[in-house]
Amino acid sequence: MDHSVKNLLVASLISFCSIATSSAQQDSTDVDSLLVKQLEQQMLSSTPAPSPHAAPRSAPTANPDISAIGDFRSSYTSIGKRKVETYLNELELQVASVVDPYARAEFLFSFGKDLNTGELGIELEVATLTSTFLPYQLQATLGKFKPQFGKINILHPHYFSFVDFPRMINNFFDSEGMFMEGVSVSGLVPNPYDFYQELVVEVGRVGSEPNASLVQGETNRLLYMGHLKNFFDLTENATLEIGLSALTGPNKYAFSTTIADLDVTYKWKPVQFNTFRSFTWQTEALLCKTKPNSNENVQTYGAYSFAEYQIAKRTFVGARYDYSAFPGDKSLEDRTTSLLLRFQPTEFQILALEYQHANRSYGADVNQVVFRVIFGIGTHAAHAY
Amino acid sequence: MKNSRSTILFLALLSLFMFSIGMCQIKVVTTLTDLKSITELIGGDRVDVFAIATGYQNPHFVDPKPSYILKLSRADMFVTVGLDLEIGWVPPLLNSARNAKIQKGGEGYTDASLNIPLLQVPASVNRGEGDIHIYGNPHYWLDPMNGKIIAQNIFNTLVRIDPEHRELYEANLRRFVGTIDTKVKEWTEKVAPFRNTKVIAYHNEWPYFEQRFGLHIMDFLEPKPGIPPTPSQLAKVIEEMKRENIKIIINSPYFTTEDASLVARNAGGKVVTLATSVGANQNIKNYFDLFDYDVAQIVSALQ
């Protein structure tokens, strides 16, 4: 009895599998016309055997992608001896390529002018190796990079909507933002609602550039950073991104500074006419706890909010409000308002005019007008959303 | 008895598992809806296809939203137009997809442009000429005969990743090729009375369509590819339309009609908005509908 049941089940299993395999096959009896038979013959003779690595078309060169982006500025500032400036703020040279089937690399050099000394300096801002083939859909980057802290720190100046970083970034890190040397690992987080959620964890030391909150330190204490990015498609035309970030690392007092950050970005772009109209609203706030000694913890804040509207295919207007204190010092505060007009003749050239009014608790109000021209040549990798 | 029950349960579960494997669909992500349509026509029930761009969207400018990364991270196959058409949005998506199968060189990566006889391959590359595509004009799916080559490229990948269903894909490919040949004959016959008709287009995206259906595109509203129409260019086109007795301006769904309408009013012509992709409107449900619609629009405008 047992044997017959087993035989029956094995037979049914085999037939089940064969049904499963053949169920997707379609009846080809309707394709037996003379025309189709001729086509069949043609195809049999012309169909190449599928190759496991059919080479896509590529440039007849193994050179990496190389791009150079210039950032020229003219400005008027209401205070100071030299009210009018005209200078090349930065030249960014990027070299990027796939290293091998398992990784890609990027190097970014910045040639910038120190406005105080007038000297041109060269800085290696980014040098990374990114592995694309880790298990569990993880991605790892090592080297020197801009940590994914908040929404705006990761951007390079040529990609800003406005001509400068918000005061919050200037005051708590540096006018170029924060850099880091270490390892970054990111992964997609499965969730029951199936929206995009990415967790990034970074460990290392803060870059050697000036940084108001953090230092590389003399001890083994490292910089730890985490970022959780949540992205929602609200409609076909609108998206919402909410990010949470936190970092802790050594400060100049040989204690720790801990910073938490929340970023919210709403974007609207009608899919059909997405090159003609768009709207972005972005807000970010940080809370910084600086420990200057073993007994004290100084808590200060920074925030910005901007809106940008595209009024024509090549023209954008925007406004930004910033508030920021400084790390470890509640008495110093900046409040700035910026108005922007940006014109982009093509993707490779941006002209921007910005007016900024700064109200400072530690000095006179400042009015500034900046005219900036960004121009790029070569092959520059497209930016993430 | 207890043993036989366990065996029955085990075999039943095994059957269910084998059945689910047999029925498990191949997850495909394509950049454009046209590639989605052709993949569905070749893959039949075996494929579950998602297209990133909509049919009424400018394929040069698609936002690389993170939600697409989620789709790509789970895909078995990725189909791209290639030729740098999607250079502004596919690389950041693939770089973040964390999926080796669909990267360039991976078994699920499909460059639909392979073996396409390309038009307008530049002898030299200079951005002063506007948005020039260094490998040639990438709007090749707008010649239905190229649809056969696209289908062949998609077929090759499907067979590579799912060889058990080769016969199904072959049958579907044969059917697709047969339908295209039959339909191309119909479409070209319909447009035949208007061969060599001179027209104006907004953007240089119709050379394959132009060649297949015998139209003659004389000029563009864009002074250079990707550069928005300027008053001097529009004035030049108006003059040209009057001089050459051109009556038609071809627009695309994702360009506003303001400039085309202005020129048409001043030159005594009319604007025809052709579909550039499947899904440009709700009546265009597949690759054959695309040309049914465009041919009908052209014939109706020229009659």
- Picking from A53, A231, A382, the nearest residue to B105 by CB comes out as A53
Q: Going by DSSP bridges, is the β-strand pair A256-268/A238-250 parallel, antiparallel, or unpaired?
A: antiparallel
Q: What is the C-alpha separation between B130 and B86, in angstroms, rounded?
A: 16
What count of other Cβ atoms lies within 10 Å of the Cβ of residue B30?
Answer: 26
Pairwise CB contact (< 8 Å): A132 & B152: no
pLDDT in the model for residue A360:
95
What count of other Cβ atoms lies within 10 Å of the Cβ of residue B22?
Answer: 18
pLDDT digits (tens, 9 = 90+) for B102-132: 999 899 999 999 999 999 998 877 777 777 7
Pairwise CB contact (< 8 Å): B73 & A137: yes
Q: How confident is the model at residue B62 (pLDDT cuts 50, 70, 90)?
A: very high
Pairwise CB contact (< 8 Å): B98 & A348: no
pLDDT in the model for residue A46:
42
pLDDT in the model for residue A52:
40
A236 touches chain B (CB under 8 A): yes
pLDDT in the model for residue B44:
96
Pairwise CB contact (< 8 Å): A272 & B253: yes
pLDDT digits (tens, 9 = 90+) for B158-205: 999 999 999 999 999 999 999 999 999 999 999 999 999 999 999 999
Mean pLDDT of chain B: 92
For domain B2-114+128-181, give its CATH number from 3.30.70.360, 3.40.50.620, 3.40.50.1980, 3.90.1150.10.
Answer: 3.40.50.1980
Q: What is the C-alpha separation between B170 and A36, in angstroms, rounded?
A: 12
All residues of chain B having their beta carbon less than 8 Å from the beta carbon of residue A6 are 4, 7, 11
pLDDT in the model for residue B15:
57
All residues of chain A having their beta carbon less than 8 Å from the beta carbon of residue B109 are 56
Q: What is the C-alpha separation between B301 and B281, in angstroms, rounded?
A: 18
Whose CA is closest to B138, among B223, B32, B262? B32
Which residues, including other chains, have CB under 8 Å from residue A333's CB and lie 6 or more apart? A323, A324, A325, A360, A361, A362
pLDDT in the model for residue A39:
42
All residues of chain B having their beta carbon less than 8 Å from the beta carbon of residue A141 are none
A residues 144-183 lying closer than 8 A (beta carbon) to B: none
Pairwise CB contact (< 8 Å): B11 & A10: yes
Does B239 have pLDDT greater than 80? yes
All residues of chain A having their beta carbon less than 8 Å from the beta carbon of residue B15 are 12-13, 16-17
- Picking from B65, B104, B175, the nearest residue to A56 by CB comes out as B104
Low pLDDT (below 50) residues in chain A: 1-58
All residues of chain A having their beta carbon less than 8 Å from the beta carbon of residue B157 are 50
Average of pLDDT values for B23-35? 93
Q: How many CA atoms lie within 13 A of A368 on its CB side?
A: 23
A297 touches chain B (CB under 8 A): no
What count of other Cβ atoms lies within 10 Å of the Cβ of residue B161?
Answer: 17
CB-based contact B194:B246 (threshold 8 Å): no
Q: What is the C-alpha separation between B273 and A289, in angstroms, rounded?
A: 59
All residues of chain A having their beta carbon less than 8 Å from the beta carbon of residue B65 are 231, 233, 239, 385
For domain B186-302, give its CATH number from 2.40.110.10, 3.30.2130.10, 3.40.50.1980, 3.20.20.70.
Answer: 3.40.50.1980
All residues of chain B having their beta carbon less than 8 Å from the beta carbon of residue A381 are 91-92
Pairwise CB contact (< 8 Å): A39 & B3: no
Residue of B6, B11, B154 to mutate for A, most A C-beta atoms under 10 A: B11
> What φ, ψ does residue B168 adopt, rounded to 5°?
-60, -50
- Picking from B95, B135, B171, the nearest residue to A57 by CB comes out as B135
Average of pLDDT values for B245-273? 93
Domain boundaries, chain B: 2-114+128-181, 186-302
Average of pLDDT values for B70-96? 95
Q: What is the C-alpha separation between B191 and A309, in angstroms, rounded?
A: 44
pLDDT digits (tens, 9 = 90+) for B198-238: 999 999 999 999 999 999 999 999 999 888 899 999 999 99
Residue of A29, A36, A232, A348 to mutate for B, most B C-beta atoms under 10 A: A36
Q: Matching CATH topology for B2-114+128-181 and B186-302?
A: yes
Closest chain B residue to A136, measured at CA: B98
- Picking from B7, B69, B160, the nearest residue to A50 by CB comes out as B160
The nearest CA of chain B is from the CA of A266 a distance in Å of 13
All residues of chain B having their beta carbon less than 8 Å from the beta carbon of residue A195 are 67, 70
Q: Could you tell me the domains of chain A? A: 65-378 (2.40.160.10)
The nearest CA of chain A is from the CA of B197 a distance in Å of 29
CA angle, A129 then A135 then A138, to 5°:
55
Residue B18 CA: distances (Å) to CA of A79, B14, B21, B169: 77, 6, 5, 21
pLDDT in the model for residue B23:
61
All residues of chain B having their beta carbon less than 8 Å from the beta carbon of residue A314 are 228
pLDDT in the model for residue A21:
35
Which residues, including other chains, have CB under 8 Å from residue B99's CB and lie 6 or more apart? A137, B72, B73, B74, B75, B106
A residues 94-153 lying closer than 8 A (beta carbon) to B: 101, 104, 130, 132-134, 137-139
Q: Is B301 helix (H, G, I), strand (E, B) or coil?
A: helix
Pairwise CB contact (< 8 Å): A272 & B4: no
- Picking from B18, B83, B253, the nearest residue to A57 by CB comes out as B83
pLDDT in the model for residue A117:
78
- Output the CA torsion B20→B26→B27→B33 (10° steps): -140
Pairwise CB contact (< 8 Å): B95 & A132: yes
Q: Quote the ipTM score.
A: 0.86
